[in-house]
């Protein structure tokens, strides 16, 4: 047994939702390096436990796991109670990494897939954020990192089901940032472009545009440290999306994006 298993969580703690994703793992590592206690929550319990154990061994920090289903919003209040129990209080930070991307053509034919995408990416995220952020606001302390997507910046035929849920999430987070602007609570909106993860593997994306999870994790961590509000991963996506967003409609509609 590891000695860290007998440790207690510190007040420097973060809750990571959707912790089994490669990006979540890559974000968790720099926080663990910094000495943060980590509570990892995901729908895949076994895989989540392996990721937690890996973090305990590598960084000798307190790290525990919880089952979490983003789409089951009725379970969220009870889930947050468990979080409080595990951490002896609210976490200092919240990282939202869960997300679901259906195959566009399949989703167009099957509304169940569309609903699932909305339930996870938007409703699930808002349900958690709204509850946790209120607490942060009350304490005037805390931070949230929310992984949205460049796909939310403009609806495109190749990926608008996923894109629209991320677009809604982006708008929601912008609202939160506005609401919290006079407090010390930081909400970091992350808009990754293509990342080299299981979600994009096999799509044959240009390697130059891909960010490895480790790269992404470090970029996000640094942006959080610098108290940034919005970050693109990698930086050039800001300009790519700027162009895509500002293409006149008659041009845009002719593209295959």
Nearer to other proteins, 32 or 169 (CB): 32
Minimum distance of other proteins from residue 151's CB (angstroms): 18
Q: In what order do the strands lie in the sheet with 186-192?
A: 63-67, 37-42, 13-17, 93-96, 143-147, 186-192, 230-233
Nearer to other proteins, 27 or 187 (CB): 27
Minimum distance of other proteins from residue 247's CB (angstroms): 30
Nearer to other proteins, 159 or 164 (CB): 159
Nearer to other proteins, 209 or 230 (CB): 209
Nearer to other proteins, 33 or 88 (CB): 33
For tokens 């566009």, what's the residue? 104
Nearer to other proteins, 17 or 189 (CB): 17
DSSP letters of 140-203? T--EEEEE--GGGSS--TTTHHHHHHHHHHHHHHHHHHHHTTTSS-EEEEEEE--BSSTTTTTS
Minimum distance of other proteins from residue 22's CB (angstroms): 6
Minimum distance of other proteins from residue 204's CB (angstroms): 7
Residue ranges binding other proteins (CB under 8 A): 2-3, 20, 22, 44, 46-47, 50-51, 53-54, 57-58, 197-198, 201-204
Minimum distance of other proteins from residue 201's CB (angstroms): 6
Q: Which residues pair with 186 in a beta bridge?
A: 143
Minimum distance of other proteins from residue 42's CB (angstroms): 11
Nearer to other proteins, 41 or 169 (CB): 41
Minimum distance of other proteins from residue 85's CB (angstroms): 26
């Amino acid at each position: 047994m590891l000695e860290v298993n007998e440790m207690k969580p510190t007040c420097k703690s973060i809750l990571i939702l959707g912790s089994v994703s490669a990006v979540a793992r890559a974000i968790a590592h720099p926080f663990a390096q910094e000495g943060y206690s980590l509570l990892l929550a995901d729908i895949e319990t076994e895989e989540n436990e392996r990721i937690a154990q890996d973090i305990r061994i590598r960084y000798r920090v307190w790290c525990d796991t919880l089952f979490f289903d983003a789409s089951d919003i009725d379970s969220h209040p009870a889930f947050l109670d468990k979080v409080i129990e595990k951490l002896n209080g609210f976490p200092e930070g919240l990282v939202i990494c869960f997300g679901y991307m259906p195959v566009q053509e399949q989703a167009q034919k099957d509304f169940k897939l569309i609903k699932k995408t909305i339930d996870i990416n938007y409703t699930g995220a808002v349900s958690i954020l709204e509850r946790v952020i209120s607490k942060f606001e009350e304490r005037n302390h805390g931070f949230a990192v929310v992984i949205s997507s460049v796909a939310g910046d403009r609806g495109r035929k190749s990926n608008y089901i996923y894109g629209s849920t991320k677009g809604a999430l982006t708008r929601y987070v912008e609202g939160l940032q506005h609401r919290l602007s006079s407090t010390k609570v930081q909400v970091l909106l992350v808009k990754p472009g293509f990342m080299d993860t299981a979600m994009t593997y096999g799509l044959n994306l240009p390697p130059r545009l891909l960010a490895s999870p480790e790269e992404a994790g470090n970029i996000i961590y640094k942006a959080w440290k610098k108290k940034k509000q919005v970050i693109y991963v990698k930086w050039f996506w800001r300009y790519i999306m700027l162009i895509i967003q500002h293409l006149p409609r008659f041009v845009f509609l002719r593209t295959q994006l």
